[in-house]
Amino acid sequence: MAIIIGCDSFLSLRNVRNGDLGWRLAGERVLVLVDPNQFEGSLAACPAGVDLGRLLDFDPYADSQLGRLLLQSYCARKSYYDPGTFWVKLQAMSYKNNPRSFLRRTASLAKARYTLATHWIAGRWGLAQHRRQALVQALRAHETVAEYKKLLPEWQASVVVGFSLEGWREMALLEAANELGIPTAVMIRSRDNLAAKIQHLPDADAYFVWAEMTRKFLLHMYPEIPAERVYVTGSPQFDHHLDPTHRLPRQEFFQRVGLDPNRPLIVYTMATPGLIDHEIEIVQYLADAAHAGRFFRQAHLLVRGHPRMFGSNLKLLHNSYREARRYPPPARPAYKSPEHEANVVRLILEDEPMHLATLAYQDVQVNVCGTMTIDSAIFDKPTVNVCFDVVDGIPPGLSVQRFYRRSDVKQMIAYGASRLAYTPEECIRLINRYLEDPTLDAEGRKRAREQECGPLDGQAGLRIADSIVRLAERRNV
């Protein structure tokens, strides 16, 4: 018998590795299916004790009827249960798709408001649940699901687990397993995936979430899911965070990034590429400030790229200085080119000692409401969240301020673990306050750890593995 785990996201294989699932599920074949475009890099860094395969390519929007059903289901769900977050997305799309034409943008925004209103009414009438089930029936009639229905018996699948339902490929895998009566489970990798990314959440026998806060939000977004199926496990991606053996020694870390270990370290972590086109200008402003000696005790700045950038040609800074460095340095492959896709997962997995060292040795974290705010809270490191654009004329739909209207971000800010900077000068002032007194907002960081992260005992992988084994035993009875 085999345990099948879908890992469609470039980050999800890390959960298999950090959770030691190959070892914890010893005695069962563990087959991990990854994005076919990222197979080579995934294979090069394949965790011990697992076999690697390719997910079948699947794009629901390539089929007009299926795409329509998915969009209707998704819009009704998001419009009714999380309208603020959905409006942020609709507004950004209107501005991004119509950058030059005022009339087209105005028409697009009007259409977006109509979309939100009509789908809110549909959600109010209970059509989100109805549309979700109609989508399930259409998915199960798709040829990709039919192919999985052949493969799963060949693999002798005893349980099928989705680790990254924000991608499209895993929805076909999970629906095939559901139709065959194979037990299924889904991991919700973070609260923002529920708020802003997952378009279809299949029925499952178990849902694994980080913490009670995420559990409540899942049951709010999907009230038809039985509460007893949602388990708080913690996150395997945090299992190595507090173990010093998994991070680079301090001297080696600073030598690698080219900064002075005797100076305080400010770390700016970039957002996902494409979300904030002008983010490099924000970062450059802070780099120039470090170069000018404007930070307390002549602190240095490290600009850390988003993992999705690793191994690509995307720039992190216009100008580096002795006091302001970037990591990792840009590579030659174009972003999302075949060469970049082939290596990005390997680079992410190999980066973990650097990632954990960055969190441990930083003095202040800076980002645009990223989840590194939560990672930093685990290490009791203060964070400044950027709420300004630097560049003039950024429309509201594309401003960094839009992210702070999302439900997941509002919750993160409510912990009081970080401070919002509304101007570049305020950002410098807040960074310096934290450098002078790192105990500021320690209680807020404690709240964030306790309410957002779940158990931080290094055993999230064990809890998930135990649940998977119980599901497999149910199949074998």
Residue 304 binned pLDDT confidence (cut-offs 50, 70, 90):
very high
Please state the CATH superfamily assignment of the domain spanning residues 2-58+142-239+458-476 in this structure.
Glycogen Phosphorylase B; (3.40.50.2000)
Q: Which two tokens stand for residue 373?
A: 């705010």
CA 405, CA 394: separation in Å to the nearest integer? 17
CA 246, CA 141: separation in Å to the nearest integer? 46
Contact 2, 30 (CB under 8 A): yes
Q: What is the reported pTM?
A: 0.95
Neighbouring CB atoms inside 10 A of 72's CB total 19
CA 142, CA 422: separation in Å to the nearest integer? 48
Residues 30-41 pLDDT 10s = 999 999 999 999
Q: How many CA atoms lie within 13 A of 47 on its CB side?
A: 27
- Does the pLDDT of residue 433 top 60, yes or no? yes
The 3 state secondary structure assigned to the chain is CEEEEEECCCCCHHHHHHCCHHHHCCCCEEEEEECHHHHHHHHHCCCCCCEEEECCCCCHHHCHHHHHHHHHHHHHHHHHHCHHHHHHHHHHHHHHHCCCCHHHHHHHHHHHHHHHHHHHHHHHCCHHHHHHHHHHHHHHCCHHHHHHHHHHHHCCEEEEEECCCCCCHHHHHHHHHHHHCCCEEEECCCHHHHHHCCCCCCCCCEEEECCHHHHHHHHHHCCCCCHHHEEECCCHHHCCCCCHHHCCCHHHHHHHHCCCCCCCEEEEECCCCCCCCCHHHHHHHHHHHHHCCCCHHHCEEEEECCHHHCCCCCCCCCCCECCEEEECCCCCCCCCCHHHHHHHHHHHHHCHHHHHHHHHHCCEEEECCCCHHHHHHHCCCCEEEECCCCCCCCCCCCCHHHHHHCHHHHHHHHCCCEEEECCHHHHHHHHHHHHHCCCCCHHHHHHHHHHHCCCCCCCHHHHHHHHHHHHHHHHHC
465 CB-near residues (< 8 Å, 6+ apart): 19, 20, 21, 24, 25
pLDDT of the residue at 94: 96
- ∠ CA(311), CA(316), CA(320), 5° rounding? 120
Residue 312 binned pLDDT confidence (cut-offs 50, 70, 90):
very high
442 CB-near residues (< 8 Å, 6+ apart): 380
Mean pLDDT, all residues of the chain: 96
- Does the pLDDT of residue 103 top 70, yes or no? yes
pLDDT of the residue at 276: 96
* Percent of the chain residues past pLDDT 70, beyond the cut: 99
Residue type for 277, please?
Answer: D
Count, residues in the chain: 477
- Does the pLDDT of residue 196 top 90, yes or no? no
CA 123, CA 102: separation in Å to the nearest integer? 31
pLDDT of the residue at 92: 96
pLDDT of the residue at 189: 86
Residue 333 binned pLDDT confidence (cut-offs 50, 70, 90):
very high
Residue 208 binned pLDDT confidence (cut-offs 50, 70, 90):
very high
- Does the pLDDT of residue 420 top 80, yes or no? yes
Residues 231-247 pLDDT 10s = 999 999 999 999 999 99
240 CB-near residues (< 8 Å, 6+ apart): 18, 246, 352, 356, 458
* Percent of the chain residues past pLDDT 90, beyond the cut: 95
Please tell me which residue, 439 or 195, carries the higher pLDDT value.
439
Residue in 146, 196, 193 with CA at minimum distance from that of residue 173: 146
Specify the fold of 244-452.
Rossmann fold (3.40.50)
CA 444, CA 212: separation in Å to the nearest integer? 17
Residue 122 binned pLDDT confidence (cut-offs 50, 70, 90):
very high
- Does the pLDDT of residue 477 top 70, yes or no? no
* Largest distance between two CA atoms of the chain: 69
Laid out side by side, the sheet with 230-232 consists of 51-54, 29-34, 2-7, 157-162, 184-187, 206-209, 230-232
Residues 44-69 pLDDT 10s = 999 999 999 999 999 999 999 999 99
Residues 84-96 pLDDT 10s = 999 999 999 999 9
pLDDT of the residue at 370: 87
Contact 346, 17 (CB under 8 A): no
Residues 278-288 pLDDT 10s = 999 999 999 99
Contact 194, 218 (CB under 8 A): yes
Residues 129-139 pLDDT 10s = 999 999 999 99
CA 361, CA 382: separation in Å to the nearest integer? 12
Q: Which two tokens stand for residue 324?
A: 């302001």
Strand partners, 325: 302
